[in-house]
């Protein structure tokens, strides 16, 4: 593949700092703001300089240096509202979402924002988080099996 073809096809994304400290594991004080105003401006700037996607992180409890986090789906909707072209991907955990409800939300968001909303289904790894939210902890292979099943159900719902 030629470099010209790669340049035409290559797309860029950034990781939305919707988590305090931006999920940077460091002893250095972080200056990234995790608030919505900062993130709206960041999304608008990313769009202006040519980023194609923004990925909102998902975490429900503080972990590895982050004390606070915004929920990824609702945060993503605010970023879509603040932009015109940027596609926003919201990370979600199977088990925390009922597939039919999430499918309805995603369909509505996609319609409202011209197909710019997407989902990133993640299997999760933070045992404490699942347990504190009343979800059973599944071992690695079972978490991935659940994610696969979750995707199948979502795709079936989207297909009608």
Please compute Rg for the chain using Cα positions: 17
User: Other CB atoms closer than 10 Å to residue 46's CB: what's the count?
Assistant: 20
What pLDDT score does 6 carry?
Answer: 73
pLDDT digit string (tens) for 68-86? 788 999 999 999 999 999 9
Question: Of 91, 94, 90, whose CA–CA distance to 123 is shortest?
Answer: 94
Q: What is the CATH number of domain 11-159?
A: 3.20.20.30
Q: At 14, is the secondary structure helix, strand, or coil?
A: strand
Cα–Cα distance, 89 to 101 (Å, whole number): 17
Task: Assess contact for 64 and 5: CB atoms under 8 A.
Answer: no
Task: Assess contact for 56 and 89: CB atoms under 8 A.
Answer: yes
What pLDDT score does 11 carry?
Answer: 94
Question: In degrees to the nearest 10, what's the CA dihedral of 128, 91, 51, 65?
Answer: -10
State the alpha helices, DSSP H only, in 10-139: 36-48, 72-82, 99-112, 127-132
Task: Give per-10-residue mean pLDDT for the chain (160 aa).
Answer: 74 89 66 88 97 91 70 96 98 94 96 97 90 91 96 94
What pLDDT score does 117 carry?
Answer: 98
Cα–Cα distance, 27 to 30 (Å, whole number): 9
Cα–Cα distance, 124 to 130 (Å, whole number): 8
pLDDT digit string (tens) for 39-62? 999 999 999 999 999 999 887 776
What pLDDT score does 128 carry?
Answer: 87
Task: Assess contact for 105 and 113: CB atoms under 8 A.
Answer: no
pTM of the model: 0.87
């Amino acid at each position: 593949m030629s470099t010209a073809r790669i340049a035409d096809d290559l797309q860029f994304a950034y990781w939305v700092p919707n988590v305090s400290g931006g999920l940077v594991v460091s002893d250095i004080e972080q200056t990234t703001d995790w608030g919505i105003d900062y993130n709206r401006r960041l999304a608008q700037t990313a769009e202006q300089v040519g980023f194609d996607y923004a990925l909102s992180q998902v975490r429900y409890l503080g972990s590895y240096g982050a004390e606070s986090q915004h929920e990824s789906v609702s945060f993503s909707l605010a970023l879509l509202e603040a932009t015109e072209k940027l596609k926003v991907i919201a990370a979600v955990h199977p088990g925390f979402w009922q597939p039919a409800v999430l499918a309805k939300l995603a369909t509505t968001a996609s319609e409202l924002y011209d197909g710019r909303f997407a989902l990133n289904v993640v299997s999760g790894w933070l045992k404490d988080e699942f347990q504190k939210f009343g979800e059973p902890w599944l071992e690695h292979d079972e978490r991935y099996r659940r994610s696969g099943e979750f995707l199948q159900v979502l795709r079936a719902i989207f297909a009608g």
